[in-house]
Amino acid sequence: MIFGIPKELSDGKDTMEMRVGLSPMGAQELIHYGAEVYVESKAGEGAGFTDENYIKAGANIVYSKEEAYRRADVVLKVRRPQPEEFSFINDGQVIMGFMHLITSPREFIEIVKEKKITLIGYEIIQRKDGTLPIVIPMSEIAGKLSVQLAGRLLESREGGRGILLGGIAGIPPAEVVILGAGTLGRSAARAFAGIGASVYVLDLDREKLDKLSYHTAGMNITTMFSTRHNIEKLVKFADVLIGAVQVPRKRTPILITKEMVKTMQNGAVLIDFSIDEGGCSETSKVAPLGKFVYTVDHVIHFCMPNATSLVARTATHSLTAGAIPYLRIISELGIERALGENKDLARGIYAEKGEIRKEFLV
């Protein structure tokens, strides 16, 4: 089995993607299982991995994106291929990565059909119990990253409220509201509460709220049901509002209206991690020219689809660790047997030999 790792491209709307589809450690593992690995030169540069790192791992360096595609049975991506890459895709090829096809251009889906591509989305590889083994660690990273982002954006020089997240003796901490009690929301809640912020987490799922309460007992975290009434009430005093909402196979629902944003405090921060699936606020957008930080009605918005790219090395290690068990199966069994024998992997199929397998895309 031959794996190709091209250098990631920007989609023209946000910052350059700094992550890479496989770390040198991952390349070494696959080669140990008998695979060949071809890496486009400087593909790992943004994450701090040199060509020499890959060579030492046993991988082959190629000097064009086209060759990384053309040589491969399986192309390992972080994000779905961009238009500049479409012509490099081989007929019958396998492509894996975070595809997020619910928001993809129709052109890409037509290419998948035309070239009979087998497309596997990391975001929908799913265990029997419903958990998403590759998404979970990435969501944990995003949750912890939210503290770094919010702290910086709240600074006076950034136009924020000029407050310290954790406060000090005699000065109250920031009020942080998190929509969604999934992995990302829980990770963010623990991180914010850990530095002393006052945290509110909203969700419709009682079990998720119970789980969060159990694992954060003694921390300054309040759980509430995600009703319109509660959201309207909390956004008015939120210093930081985190969108951590995801609905499988659907666009993220709009929970924050333009009217709600207008009621927020001047210099408050809204970080919408749901932007990959459309965003959970009416004011969330992927702005052109990399302007993923912008202001609406005096509220600072952060809407970056590939936010974990800001910590590209950690994110790439995490991505590789999550994907390696499945890549090993593919390497040892071939794609057809692997999809037939591994149910987790089979659930991650968007398309098989050009046939769309997810009804919400038809």
- Please tell me whether residues 107 and 202 are part of one structural domain: no
Query: In terms of C-beta density within 10 A (0-12 exposed, 13-18 middle, 19 or more buried), how is residue 69 classed?
Result: buried
**Is 100 part of the annotated catalytic residue set?**
yes
Global pTM reads 0.88
- Please tell me whether residues 118 and 152 are part of one structural domain: no
- Please tell me whether residues 324 and 351 are part of one structural domain: yes
**Cβ partners under 8 Å of residue 340, min gap 6:** 346
Catalytic residue among 51, 203, 272, 276: 276
Tokens for 317, please give them. Answer: 């290690």
User: Which residue has tokens 């770390």?
Assistant: 23
Question: Along the 362 residues of the chain, how does pLDDT read in single tens digits?
Answer: 999 999 998 765 545 789 999 999 999 999 999 999 999 999 999 999 999 999 999 999 999 999 999 999 999 999 999 999 999 999 999 999 999 887 788 899 999 999 999 999 999 999 999 899 999 999 999 999 999 999 999 999 999 999 999 999 999 999 999 999 999 999 999 999 999 999 999 999 999 999 999 999 999 999 999 999 999 999 999 999 999 998 766 788 999 999 999 999 999 999 999 988 889 999 998 765 567 899 999 999 999 988 999 999 999 999 999 999 999 999 999 999 999 999 999 999 999 999 998 765 55
- Please tell me whether residues 218 and 233 are part of one structural domain: yes
**Is 276 part of the annotated catalytic residue set?**
yes
- Please tell me whether residues 179 and 243 are part of one structural domain: yes
- Please tell me whether residues 206 and 338 are part of one structural domain: no
Q: In CATH, what number is assigned to the domain containing residue 297? A: 3.40.50.720
For 206, the domain range is 136-309
Find residue 270's DSSP bridge partners: 241, 301
Our count of domains for the chain comes to 2
- Please tell me whether residues 297 and 149 are part of one structural domain: yes
H-type alpha helices, the chain? 24-32, 51-57, 65-70, 106-114, 135-153, 183-194, 206-215, 228-235, 258-262, 312-333, 335-341, 343-346
**Cβ partners under 8 Å of residue 260, min gap 6:** 231, 232, 235
Catalytic residue among 100, 203, 239, 272: 100
